Structure 1
Amino acid sequence: MKKLAFLLAATASISFTYAQKVSEKEVPAVVKSALQKEFPTIKTIRWEKEKDNFEAGFIQDHKDYSVLINPSGNILETEKAIPVNMLPEKARAYIHQNYPSKKIAESAKITDAKGNLTYEAEVGKKDLIFDSKGHFIKVAQ
């Protein structure tokens, strides 16, 4: 029982370290405005605070999105869920070779503020990051 309590406490503290849910009232107007300018048709938004930035999660066109915005209203990155078969072939081959007993649980296309494209694949409990051509970059923290 002590182990379970410790595990739950550790999990909760890790969750709070990376992202905390915030109410829409806590999100600065400039941040909400930046999101509405880029995605004018969305209605339901889940807000989280990630360090000093705000993350908006929502669904558009039956796809999950996550948009990271700094307190000044600049969009830092946009993450869009994609089907696994939309990952570059080199990324899928890397996963198959290096994680042969694991399946890809989720995959996403990430575009940063400069327009640079990367891909993310959740394999096991790891998020693997690949460049636009499918070359492995790193395991995300």
Structure 2
Amino acid sequence: MKRISRLLLLSLCLIFTLIACTDKDEVTYSAKASDFEGVGFERNGQKIWVFEEELFIYAAYNNPEAKRKTSIDKIIESEDAVSGNYYEKRYKNAKIKTEKDMYYITAEGISLTFQKTGERIVSDEEGMEYYTSEYQKE
């Protein structure tokens, strides 16, 4: 009976240790407003960045029939962009608020939300990933 009790106690200790280790191994990335400043992020010809309180969006608008659209695609469509053209827009009064791994960007009548999912990766509200060529500055 003592052997079974010890084995049970040892098993419980092992389970709690594994649970504690699993939580610590989970990687989370901290969002910083400076991540969008300067170089910004891009995805398949779409680029977004903030410079001196202006939000810049530069994008090739090629496939309005695509099933999966980025947040930038949706902004372009709301501006009545024409397929096959490049879209370049500046939005004044850009503000970036961050909370944990989230970015909340607002400027001149638009708002965007991104989540930092990697050291150089963010995902928009549609789950589409954007990348930056620069590593985060500490």
Into which bin does the TM-score normalised by the smaller protein fall?
under 0.3
User: Normalization by structure 2: what TM-score?
Assistant: 0.27
Structure ID, larger Rg: 2
User: Normalization by structure 1: what TM-score?
Assistant: 0.26
Q: Which has the higher contact order (CA 8 A, sep 6+)?
A: 2
